[in-house]
Chains A and B, each alone.
Chain A
Amino acid sequence: MELLQRYPEPHPQTAGRLIDGEAVLILAESAEIDVLNAVGSRIFELADGSRSTAEIAAQLAAEYDVPAAQATTDTIQFLSELVAQRILVWRDTPVSDHV
């Protein structure tokens, strides 16, 4: 399934909290602690399993006033990095679709 139609959400082994707009993360599997920058934190905040990558990219394009194509490319790249770091996981359907 194309990434734009997938739904990122926090990895079950990751604890995260927004502090003054920045996401502080504890990765249980590696016992690492990370702090994301402002844009990364906003993406992490939006990646709650209810929004598709396309929806997140559209929201970021509006919030940061960047071209949609650039926002899409950057969003896919950043989400993929967070998934590779096991901070996020991909869902095929939004959270609200699950009973």
Chain B
Amino acid sequence: MAVADTPLYIAIADLVTAVSVDDAAVADRLRRRYADFLCAPTTPHVAVNLTVVPGASFIPLRPGASWEVRVATADGVTQFVSYLEQGWFDLTAGVGQLTLAPHGEIENYLRVLYARLCLRHDALLLHAAGVLRNGEGYLFFGPSGAGKSTVARLSAEAGALPVSDDIVIVRRRGEELLLCGVPFLGELTHAVRRNAQAPLRAIFSLQQATRHAVRPLPRPLAVAGLAAAAPFVHDDPALGAALLRACARLATQLPPRTLYFARNPAFWEVIDGVVAALP
């Protein structure tokens, strides 16, 4: 089996994972897949050894079943298993291991890893749409079906630049909050994903309506909504406490609002009006 000569350094929201792959073909596939997020060799936050095993299968595939990812943490080590991938990581030690079939994917493992890595670095991985407009970032969160993809699509029609229609990272740089794109595609293989960052200007919970409006959102509801939008971190009470703390800081720094929107890009006129009135 050919061995890749150097690790891939993947930087997502400036958090770096070095992935050493023992299979050149898989390494090439990952290099293409994460091309926009590769960075120069550096000291990574996590170093992952990836082993490719032909025929590997860890959960039996069942037709019609929803995609399954099992995650459990004990003694600081997070175990991960899905259909064609199985591994673990220890964020305190900064190491991990992943075994996968030749056509397996590293994506779900990285999602879990980054969801938890973010909480250690004053950042949040969120199921949310992220949009850049006039050099500033806007975050739209809500449960599945709330309209994240719709808002991202309509934002593009309004001349804004979507960085993602369903998953982003918000991280802190000094006193500033940054909206950061991620490479994760999930089931939306044609989804918009951009490696872009911008100062976060405003956050909105999404509510579909017949006319556009923006209303204040009580902070407790905003924190609950943001926490609900954070995947892969609800199973551990310690992570839950960190998650609530991070969401509370976010909802304190940027007053949360609800965007009531109809299916046309004119909701940006309402948002622009709200933002123009901000200090």
| Residue of A20, A24, A34 contacting most chain B CB atoms (<10 Å) | A24
Alpha-carbon gap, A14 to B241, bound state (A)? 9
Q: Mark B165-185, 1 if CB is under 8 A from A, else 0.
A: 000000000000000000000
Alpha-carbon gap, A90 to B218, bound state (A)? 31
The answer to whether A24 and B237 touch (CB under 8 A), given A19-B219, A35-B220, is no
Q: How large is the interface on A (under 10, 10 to 19, 20 to 34, 35 or more residues)?
A: 10 to 19
Instruction: Give residues 1-34 of A contacting B (CB, 8 Å).
Output: 12-17, 19-20, 22, 24, 26, 28, 31, 33-34
Contacts of A15 in B (CB 8 A): 237-241, 243-244
Q: How large is the interface on B (under 10, 10 to 19, 20 to 34, 35 or more residues)?
A: 20 to 34
Alpha-carbon gap, A12 to B236, bound state (A)? 10
Q: Mark A46-85, 1 if CB is under 8 A from B, else 0.
A: 0000000000000000000000000000000000000000
Chain A: CB-nearest residue to B229: A33
Contact of B28 with A by CB under 8 A: no
Contacts of B219 in A (CB 8 A): 19-20
Let me know if A17 and B234 touch, CB within 8 A. Answer: no
Min distance, Cβ A12 to any Cβ of chain B, angstroms: 6
Please pick, from B228, B237, B251, the residue contacting A28 in the complex, using a CB distance under 8 A: B237
Alpha-carbon gap, A19 to B225, bound state (A)? 13
The answer to whether A19 and B248 touch (CB under 8 A), given A24-B223, A33-B224, is yes
Min distance, Cβ B146 to any Cβ of chain A, angstroms: 15
Chain A contact surface mostly: strand
| Residue of B219, B227, B244, B251 contacting most chain A CB atoms (<10 Å) | B244
Contacts of B220 in A (CB 8 A): 19-20, 22, 24, 35
Alpha-carbon gap, A19 to B218, bound state (A)? 10
Let me know if A17 and B244 touch, CB within 8 A. Answer: yes
Contacts of B236 in A (CB 8 A): 28
Contact of B235 with A by CB under 8 A: yes
Contacts of B239 in A (CB 8 A): 15
Let me know if B245 and A17 touch, CB within 8 A. Answer: yes
12 contacts between A and B (CB under 8 A): A14-B240, A15-B238, A15-B241, A17-B241, A20-B219, A20-B220, A26-B244, A28-B235, A31-B234, A33-B224, A33-B228, A35-B220
